[in-house]
Structure 1
């Protein structure tokens, strides 16, 4: 049984190369030692004044933060970790420098910068060397809902012909544990896999990991409870939102002023578009946006895609780079919105959605956001199109409500802002 049922990466050298201990025992000393030796020589550890200790401690803390942040981001579907290595390394080192600056502690700039470059090299090299090991290889029991699964760039699926692994090593087994045609032979096979320490996952768990959505057709009361977000993180996030908006409003005021002038010169009408929308805990509020449509055209009450004839010339530009959302910084400051969260819907659309989806209002358990998981994964589609998919993305966000998914959404949003890719 040990020959036919062996978990992938169960061999000692694979466990070492893919594990956190290898990063901390090999990578961390290299990132610290190489810059230190280059600047201070081989005998640097015999004499460690405060400046050297501060520099080494900052590099160590930055390395550990980078390591665990990238590992957490890699768990979410669609996260291309290689795209987040440089931003993550840069942010952590900037934070370390800021802490040293504001606490007036001395440090060596040359060693800090060399440590920054060493971290970039280490994490990029680790990503490309271990790329083939990180793609999950899952065996699928071809019954029930499992037949609908589709692989991704991160997950390779192999459907089994019979209840055997044929000496192929897999990361896990996927099965519809509630399938009516799950025979005793397949149940015995799943038991043998579990005994061999090969994880067996219900298809629902894997569907969420692959699609980034929580299915909403059969939400039960217990599942509602599992979707309850952390009140501790909600409080922390509110503090970050408040001070973030307080800093960004004056910094971005020149861009907002230029946008307002361009809108006013492009077409008649007010600069701001103000609409009442459904907010946190079902409390309506007025959302602020820069107007991107003509006032003398009437439509359906929601945007009809990129080709909507009501969108002005300036409107197309500010929508592409999300500049129309900037006035919502004031909504964030007032506590009506967050930087990250489900997009707030108009009152009319919310009432209409609730007629078809009774638990639609559950998305209001967290503050609505300027950007959100549905927007970076699905795009800013027409309001009514893909409503079910949007709701599934929103529930996935609420279920995984944490700093890590907010960081990932922030990276993806910044990519859209600077490239215009994915905006509608």
Structure 2
């Protein structure tokens, strides 16, 4: 039986995939094999030696101690793309809110009363203060063409916007899914200079932190409308305020409110609603559970943030050896030599690396003894060995 500790409210549609014949679920599980989590802070948690994997039902993993998990051979999963449609829809909403003064008009309308005359007349007299513009024919610059960025670009193109995308690391899958009507910017500078609207869809990494600062704002058109539904630290908020004061940024719409910009007329702060739909929460839970389940039962790694993608079909009858190790020379050679010396034939083998760490799957014809597993564990650089 695998023991799974569950933090936060994980959709039941996901949890139902963990059959009761193989899994025990709970919030106070001792010595768990796996953890399912959403926003719960785990950085101060004492990670038990039994823990093999953490699955985050969402994309951001800033609540998980990645470095510590990597050193202990704990695979950390996230769910890229599971909430993509929800974020796409909110981004399209943000484009319209930035263009049409809809919220400002609603707030003014709610302040009216019949005491000083008929409301319909007041509406007709006052609506000119909320005149906006249309997004049709305007150019939208999409920074980051991953799962969300591609959906946003395609949707904006279907709304008759001119779309300019920039992503030097775009995947093959994203390229296949991107509409042919989306133009490619060769540089970020080109996108910033040409766009009427700019939306950011990149992960928060060391190299992307504050990627939009004074220099980037200086390249933008006067009156640009900027959207951020990714992470607040992607934008230098001090430089943003300066750009608003100078008239460079006409409207800033963000899903990540910060005290420095709350209450500014040119800023619309959404309370982090990007993935807050029932459908998105279900999709994330199902994806996280399937990732965790496949790793615990089959040793397969999909969508890990700290270890390489490593998926190998299972053949029956066979035994599978799952090995987590440091990425150092001759590791596979030492492992296969040990198995050969024990007269154990290898039916299938897959080895992948990611930075300082590597992962190996081996299917063997007969069950390896405890002595063989102990010998593999004693190889310098081995972090964790499991037989499945």
TM-score range, shorter chain: under 0.3
Q: Which structure has greater strand proportion?
A: 2
TM-score, normalisation: structure 1: 0.23
TM-score, normalisation: structure 2: 0.25
